[in-house]
Structure 1
């Protein structure tokens, strides 16, 4: 470690399924998940003896719910590092007021940085290659420009997911094509640590060339995905149910990661 590399002692992760770790199963961990945030915490814990980590993220939460439920508990922990990924579930709703959404985001990031924490935020992913999610590309681009402005205003670290290459490989995504796979989480942990300027020993998953599949096999996989994920997902949207109903934060208090 060099003198220019940051040392963090209290890391709190806020957000939704992206930060909870969905798509990266680990039966021996809380909620049965690993995820990029745990990987980041493990790396950061190696440079100080008093490192502690909390993960308040809960799947399915909208940005307003994340702020309402997680911001004050996070501030009470006096963290010196906070990661905040929020807004993705809002962007997938039939309608969204992006200006109002980012106004709340702005207030939350301001409160965290005013408390002295280093804060990392994300742009949303560019799923323009996806036949289903490409319809959200326009509103996502607008949201991202506003998030970039929030990051500049408050001096937050920007993890620019929109511009990452390699996530158009389905192996970077879980079976539902919405949450990252273990490989996707590993790559994200590398990106976050690099954005923070933190030393680490993680490597890109290095998946190699993707296997070629026939058009017939592709259609069969698309049909299975539509039946297994997309239709039930739309059903929850119509009934107002959330995948996070009944789910609790898996690391609600600061504690050592190891």
Structure 2
């Protein structure tokens, strides 16, 4: 059983990470569940009239999150806010993690105006990933900036960088950019821990897939590059986003319908 907590109105802001991409669920709005839905499900269990909105849209850069989500979020009058933004900026070649962080801080400053509890996120340690290992230092700088922002504005931090579980390919979907269902489940546990909310979510539930053989992994590398990497690069060249023409899956704060898996 979960303990009573002080929040009754939760709004999530961000990009594909918060939208729940990689965690398909046909019965969820937008067709994806994700960690934020899982957190909302737990928070709703012992709170009457708990309301949840998710404004996150895949592919959004930090400035787009600011322009398109911050004011709508405040209009919903939340007492709990999660915001994860800047990841799509940081992984772009030539991006400046300090400049991205300054934009995030502006968003946090505005969101803090209604005295809601705000949760920020460090990024996962990407040292395990052959694709993103080269930007590990840039990600670490961004994470330190996130921690400094959290200190200045009295925010909580869901510390993915400290997780021993997330730097594991078995936590990630086939595109290697988004968490799979187990990864989202793990992040939900990290967020609930940051909120100090007891819950029944268990680690490694469901069990991760067994580790692949070297030969199978190389076959997957070739398939991944063809199916995911090349289209991603083409979108960057064309200044396109996977979130173009996509709307927020939960634009209004409403009741949470528990998943059969929760």
Give the TM-score normalised by structure 2: 0.93
**How far does residue 107 in structure 1 lie from its aligned partner after superposition?**
1.8
Alignment deviations for residues 211-237 of structure 1 (CA, whole Å, 9 cap, x no partner): 354322221111111111111111111
- Stretch moving more, 232-241 or 50-59: 232-241
CA distance in structure 2 between the partners assigned to 1:2 and 1:69 by the alignment: 33
Matched residue, 1:161? 160
**How far does residue 54 in structure 1 lie from its aligned partner after superposition?**
0.3
Check 1:225–1:117 CA distance in 2 against 1; reply closer, same or farther (3 A cut): same
Matched residue, 1:122? 121
Matched, 1:9 2:16: no
CA distance in structure 2 between the partners assigned to 1:253 and 1:226 by the alignment: 37
**How far does residue 113 in structure 1 lie from its aligned partner after superposition?**
2.1
Name the SS of the counterpart of 2:45 in structure 1.
helix
Matched residue, 1:96? 95
Question: Any conservation in 2 of the 1:53–1:256 contact (CA below 8 Å)?
Answer: yes
**How far does residue 169 in structure 1 lie from its aligned partner after superposition?**
2.2
CA distance in structure 1 between the partners assigned to 2:22 and 2:2 by the alignment: 34
**How far does residue 57 in structure 1 lie from its aligned partner after superposition?**
0.1
- 1:179-218 counterparts in 2 under 5 A? 179-206=178-205, 211-218=210-217
CA distance in structure 1 between the partners assigned to 2:92 and 2:161 by the alignment: 19
Question: Any conservation in 1 of the 2:54–2:250 contact (CA below 8 Å)?
Answer: yes
**How far does residue 109 in structure 1 lie from its aligned partner after superposition?**
1.0
CA distance in structure 1 between the partners assigned to 2:76 and 2:206 by the alignment: 38
- 1:69-88 counterparts in 2 under 5 A? 69-88=68-87
CA distance in structure 1 between the partners assigned to 2:9 and 2:52 by the alignment: 6
Matched, 1:226 2:233: no
Name the SS of the counterpart of 1:131 in structure 2.
coil
Q: Tell me how large the CA RMSD over aligned residues is.
A: 1.7
**How far does residue 248 in structure 1 lie from its aligned partner after superposition?**
0.3
Question: Any conservation in 1 of the 2:62–2:104 contact (CA below 8 Å)?
Answer: yes
Matched, 1:24 2:30: no
CA distance in structure 1 between the partners assigned to 2:37 and 2:45 by the alignment: 13
Aligned residues: 257
Check 1:28–1:212 CA distance in 2 against 1; reply closer, same or farther (3 A cut): closer
CA distance in structure 1 between the partners assigned to 2:78 and 2:92 by the alignment: 32
Name the SS of the counterpart of 2:127 in structure 1.
coil
Unaligned runs of 5+ residues in structure 2 are: 258-262
Give the TM-score normalised by structure 1: 0.95
Matched residue, 2:61? 62
**How far does residue 6 in structure 1 lie from its aligned partner after superposition?**
2.7
